[in-house]
Structure 1
Amino acid sequence: MSSFTAQLRQMDADEIGMVVALATDARNRLEEAGFILSDPIGAHTLKPETPAALHGMISSLQAEGRLQEAAAIMVWLHTARVGARLELRPLARDMWRQLERGFPHTQEASGPLMRTLFRSIRLDGYDQFPKGLSPDPL
């Protein structure tokens, strides 16, 4: 997670917008398929196999050369790991702080992604943090 976050830190906000668009689309599609990604701590009790399943998806996408889509799932793998290891919460909050920089660019990024992937990009909730992972909790 630290390495992934370090890579995000090196990216411009508009580049992160593309990651957020793909990650949001992935979350919407995965949650429709029964995954619980928006509440990683609560989800661990119900579906402890989620990180392993996401890891398998990432490996498959990487093997197919679909690196952007793999990075999108990686956001959710790192998020889901917090449910099993609460000590990762500060690192996940930092990752989401970096992803937040892309929020203003997410809708704009969806157009080129739709043309590249030949499908719609589902952006519902792109500017919402997973439960318990707000970068600056109050």
Structure 2
Amino acid sequence: MPALDAAEILTVGFATVGAGLVIGLFLLFFGPAVSGLFGRKPQPTTVADELAAEILNRDWDRERAIRMSPPGLTHDDVQINANADAAPLRERLDRAFRRFNQRFETLSEEYEAERETDRAVRKIAACAAPMESYVAMLAGLDGEKVAPLLAIAVHVRNGMKDHGVDLSDPAAAEIRLPGLTLTMAEKVEMCRQAGDTVRINGPLIWLFSLVAVQDPARRRTGRRLWAELHRGAPHVEACRDALELLVEDWARLEGADQFPRGLTPEPI
């Protein structure tokens, strides 16, 4: 094969460069249209990506429709058609966001309910914590000293019975009135914050009783509590005047010798 001289080499070089320029200019001006016709659209990989991809694909389709629109079809016509096509998508997005908001509100309510339950459990546990020490304190008192504490508890029981809450059966009372234990704990906390060391004994004794019938581990302590309180029953009437001055009302002391159901000194 004969060797190329310098002129031929230059001719081939210029031809190659020219061809490259022509291809580059073609891709520069006509590349987007070719890509719109033959390019692959991004495929969604997740549920969230699906909605985003649909929006992008509709933009892609709108641009291609504008570029390839036949004579006589204006840009505004294409835009109107694109907006009409997007209406179902907006409706789907609206429904999705409404479902998301409803689910978020439900989860928020459940979270708040769990927080309230957790606070209630911690409050009850804190108020009922001194149960053992309270029983030990009663065990060191004579019956006459125990009587005022029993009188307050009996007065509270009889007063609540007038309002439909029968504390003579603590377990049934909690079932009929969910949250009764928490109510007693709140009463104890209020008396404690007010520094009322006398009135606090009424709700405190019934808080201990409600906790004892609901917690098998504390049932024995609850029985001991009422065994110690029962020693004051013969002296309760002697506390009537003092109790009426305290509550500023008629003392309700009937049934002072009765044990709450499930809290007798020994199982029946």
For normalisation by structure 1, the TM-score amounts to 0.90
DSSP-derived class of the 2:252 partner: coil
Q: Does 1:2 align with 2:132?
A: yes
1:84 matched to 2:214? The reply is: yes
Which one of 241, 248, 255 corresponds to residue 118 of structure 1? 248
* Structure 1 residue 29: Cα displacement: 1.3
Contact 2:224 2:265 in 1 (8 A): yes
Identity of aligned residues (%): 28
Q: Which of residues 57, 62, 67 is equivalent to 2:187? A: 57
2:231 corresponds to which residue? 101
Deviation at 1:28, TM superposition (A): 1.1
Alignment coverage as a number of residue pairs? 138
CA RMSD across the alignment: 1.6
Structure 1 unmatched runs, 5+: none
The code of the aligned residue for 1:99 comes to L
- Residue 166 of structure 2 corresponds to residue 33 of structure 1: no
Deviating beyond 3 angstroms after TM superposition, the runs of 4 or more aligned structure 1 residues are none
- The answer to whether the 8 Å contact 1:20/1:126 transfers is yes
2:258 maps to 128
**What's the offset of the Cα at 1:119?**
2.1
> In the alignment, is the contact (CA less than 8 A) between 2:213 and 2:263 conserved in 1?
no
Contact 2:168 2:259 in 1 (8 A): yes
Query: Bigger shift: 25-34 or 1-10?
Result: 25-34
Q: TM-score, normalised by structure 2?
A: 0.48
Instruction: Summarize the Cα distance change of 1:52–1:116 in structure 2 as closer, same or farther, 3 Å threshold.
Output: closer
In structure 2, stretches of 5+ residues that fail to align are 1-130
Greater RCO between the two (CA within 8 Å, min separation 6)? 1
Q: Normalized per residue, which structure has more helix?
A: 2
State whether residues 31 and 37 of structure 1, in contact with CA within 8 Å, keep that contact through their aligned partners in structure 2: yes
Aligned-partner SS, 2:134: helix
Q: 1:103 Cα deviation (Å)?
A: 0.5
CA distance in 2, matches of 1:134, 1:107: 22
Retained in 1: the 8 A contact 2:213–2:262? no
CA distance in 2, matches of 1:84, 1:77: 11
